[in-house]
Amino acid sequence: MRDDPCVFIVDKPVGPTSRELLDDLERHLRSGPLGHAGTLDPLASGVLVVLTGEARRLQDLFMGSWKTYEAEFTLGAWSASDDAEGPFTPSGVAVGSVEPARILPLLAGFVGTIQQAPPQRSAVRVEGRRAYELSRKGNDVPLAPRTVQIANIELLHAEDLRIRVRVHASPGTYIRSLARDLGVAAGCGAYVSQLRRTKSGPFGVETAVVAADLRTSDGLSLTEALRHYPALHVREDEASDLRHGRVILAPPFESERTIAWWNDQPICRLVAAAPATARSSRWIADPALFMNPNRQ
């Protein structure tokens, strides 16, 4: 067990929910409560960022990262879960073989800023209850569309009624919804038959550790994990100002995911105190994300 807050990059297997996996890891690592930065469905695998101790206070920072997925979509039927859990309803439309020339223009229509309704079986709360709880009881759950961004959809393979795609998308994007909406556009129904998250922010599956093999020594310190995010290196007097809730001036930069560093240690996330001018901007520490600068 480690005493310092750390970040584990875990390769989640197909089967457990994200919460069930955390419960297993808490027992395996003999740790305190764990948090994660971005739910993966039971039938999905891949990168799950797991947080310990004070690192859980940074959950929204890690969760706000863009994600990359590789997915298989099966056409020709609808799924109540929008994935391979089902139950399924054949569309009754003769699809034939999936041709790239037909699919590529449809996929292109989802690239950019789009409106996307979450799946009926999702963790979105409706009047205090999870949508999936209501849906599994046969209730039709009205879920308002949300604005998401999809930077790129790459068609990797197309054969028979299945296509494989790589998707790079903003946080909050549902790949199951993308499959469902592609099925609408194609007029024949579609669902996710396989899903793997290959990247969450700066963390890729190539550096992830299989959950069953995870050891405490595999955890990244906050210093290591936060080096991947935009940084502003401040002087000692500026670090003192930030600790006491005072404003500092800095060259303008766009990211509100910027971490202030002093003495080669992350101390806080910066938030804008006033609109930036052409020459400078005013920043204060996010009080919810202030860290001990002397801690690794």
Give the mean model confidence (pLDDT) for residues 106-118: 96
Whole-number percent of the chain with pLDDT over 90: 60
pLDDT value of residue 295: 41
d(CA 268, CA 115): 33
Alpha-carbon distance of 219 to 9, in angstroms, equals: 8
pLDDT band at 100 (very low <50, low <70, confident <90, very high): confident
pLDDT (mean) for 112-119 = 94
Q: What is the CA angle 245-232-3, rounded to 5?
A: 75
Residue scoring higher pLDDT (94 or 7) = 7
Task: Work out the pLDDT band at 250, boundaries 50, 70, 90.
Answer: confident
pLDDT (mean) for 6-28: 95
What one-character-per-residue DSSP string does 94-136 give? Answer: ---S--HHHHHHHHHTTSEEEEEPPPSSSS-EETTEEHHHHHH
126-130, 195-199, 210-214: range with lowest mean pLDDT: 126-130
Q: Please, what's the largest Cα pairwise distance for the chain? A: 70
Mean pLDDT of the chain: 87
Report the pLDDT averaged over residues 8-14.
97
**Against a cut of 0.85, is the pTM above it?**
yes
Exposure b/e, 24-62, CB count within 10 A at least 16 = b: ebeeebebeebbbbbebbbbbbbbbbbbbbebbbbbebb
DSSP 257: T
**Nearest-10 crossing angle of helices 175-186, 100-108:** 120
Give 159-227 as a DSSP string: ETTEEEEEEEE-TT--HHHHHHHHHHHHTS-EEEEEEEEEEETTEEGGG-EEGGG--GGGPEEHHHHHT
**Common-topology check for domains 70-184 and 230-290:** no
Paired sense of beta strands 6-12 and 209-210, if any: parallel
Give the pLDDT of residue 287.
74
Lowest mean pLDDT among 7-21, 74-88, 131-145: 131-145
CA dist., res. 237 & res. 247, Å (int): 11
What DSSP assignment string belongs to 218-251? GPEEHHHHHTTS-EEE--HHHHHHHHTT--EEE-
- Cα 178 from Cα 145, distance rounded (Å): 12
pLDDT score recorded for residue 296: 36
- Residue spans of the domains in the chain: they are 6-65+202-225, 70-184, 230-290
- Whether the pLDDT of residue 214 is over 70: the answer is yes
Rounded percentage of the chain residues whose pLDDT exceeds 70: 85
**Which of residues 214 and 126 earns the better pLDDT score?**
214
* Residue tagged active-site, from 4, 24, 41, 241: 41
From the CB of residue 9, how many other CB atoms can be counted at a distance below 10 Å? Answer: 22
pLDDT at 159 over 60: yes
* CATH 2.30.30.90, domain 6-65+202-225, yes or no: no
CATH architecture of the domain 70-184 equals 2-Layer Sandwich (3.30)
Reply yes or no on whether the pLDDT at 44 is more than 90.
yes
Identify the burial level of 99 via C-beta atoms within 10 angstroms of its C-beta, where 0-12 means exposed, 13-18 middle and 19 or more buried. Answer: exposed
241 is catalytic: no
Kindly state the average pLDDT of the residues 168-192: 95
The CATH code of domain 230-290 reads 2.30.130
Tokens 């929008």 map to which residue? 82
* Band (138; pLDDT cuts 50, 70, 90): low
According to the model, what pLDDT value does residue 279 have?
Answer: 62
Q: Is there a contact between 65 and 168 (Cβ–Cβ < 8 Å)?
A: no
